[in-house]
Amino acid sequence: MSPRRITKKEMKEDKLVTTAFQLSEWIQKHLNQVLMVAGGVVLVAIVVFFVFSTRTKRGQKAADLLGKATLELQVGNLNQAITDLQTVVDRYGGTKSAGSATFYLATTYFYAKDYPNAQAMFQTFIEKYGEDPLSLASAQAGIAQCQMENGEFQAAGDNFLKAVSFKPEGLLAPHYLFSAGQAYLRANQRETAKEVFKRLIDEYPDSKEAYKAKEQLAENLLL
């Protein structure tokens, strides 16, 4: 009796069975490694979820406290607003709300006439959160205004000019230039003031500040 020929289907099934046995044998030999890898994947997933969840919770808490501080500012409760804003800055650094809180805190200190703290917070905002040119310009102008209040007129003029450099096409650029010219006048830097006023007239001829700059040139005999 001649041997029965093995069909292709049977050959495939035999290979599948063999492969299955080989895989089973490999897993048994390397079970610990398999479990470690699988456990590592699960652990990484858990850590990622935990970090994301924690950041989300921190961000929400920071946003809630920032909202509370904003309401306090609206009703004129500066002391409580300062306390809440400082908490956001100290406890929730790195969140989006912390950046906003830093700027609001600087502004609140300014209106409370605490110019040293206001200037320090504006500088902190620039160093940590100043990515947008508009916000950078505003913070730099905030520093300049603090220096004006402290009688540091030449430094104020320099910082108003720096504010313009961040956002020269901004709506407030003419205002910053005019403020720089006034600061240099008060610092008795008449030639520098003249240059700034003329720059304002040349670069922003249609602005109301350009008209005021012409008046300053005439009044102070800087023509």
Each residue's pLDDT tens digit, 100-123: 899 999 999 998 999 999 999 999
**Domain count within the chain:** 2
| CATH number where 67 lies | 1.25.40
Structure token pair of residue 19: 């492969």
> Looking at the predicted structure, is the pLDDT value of residue 45 above 50?
no
Structure token pair of residue 193: 């003031």
| Domain span holding position 90 | 58-131
- Report the pLDDT value the prediction gives residue 22, as an integer from 0 to 100: 54
Residue 83, domain member (yes or no)? yes
Residue 18, domain member (yes or no)? no
In this structure, are 85 and 124 located in the same domain?
Answer: yes
In this structure, are 161 and 110 located in the same domain?
Answer: no
Residue 109, domain member (yes or no)? yes
Q: What is the mean pLDDT of residues 78-97?
A: 89
Q: What is the mean pLDDT of residues 1-14?
A: 45
Question: Could you give the CA distance from residue 119 to residue 152 in angstroms, rounded to a whole number?
Answer: 12
Condensed to tens digits (0 to 9), the pLDDT of residues 126-171 reads 999 878 899 999 999 999 999 999 999 999 999 999 999 999 999 9
**Measured CA angle at 126 (ends 123, 128), to 5 deg:** 105
Sorting pLDDT into bands at 50, 70 and 90, what band is 178?
very high
> Looking at the predicted structure, is the pLDDT value of residue 32 above 70?
no
Q: What is the mean pLDDT of residues 42-67?
A: 58
| CATH number where 161 lies | 1.25.40.10
Residue 62, domain member (yes or no)? yes
Question: Could you give the CA distance from residue 19 to residue 140 in angstroms, rounded to a whole number?
Answer: 70
In this structure, are 114 and 180 located in the same domain?
Answer: no
Residue 45, domain member (yes or no)? no
Last residue of a domain, which of 131, 164, 188? Answer: 131
In this structure, are 223 and 171 located in the same domain?
Answer: yes
Residue 201, domain member (yes or no)? yes
> Looking at the predicted structure, is the pLDDT value of residue 2 above 80?
no
Residue 199, domain member (yes or no)? yes
In this structure, are 96 and 126 located in the same domain?
Answer: yes
- Report the pLDDT value the prediction gives residue 221, as an integer from 0 to 100: 67
Least confident of 1-5, 60-64, 83-87: 1-5
- Report the pLDDT value the prediction gives residue 94, as an integer from 0 to 100: 80
In this structure, are 83 and 117 located in the same domain?
Answer: yes
Question: Could you give the CA distance from residue 210 to residue 57 in angstroms, rounded to a whole number?
Answer: 49
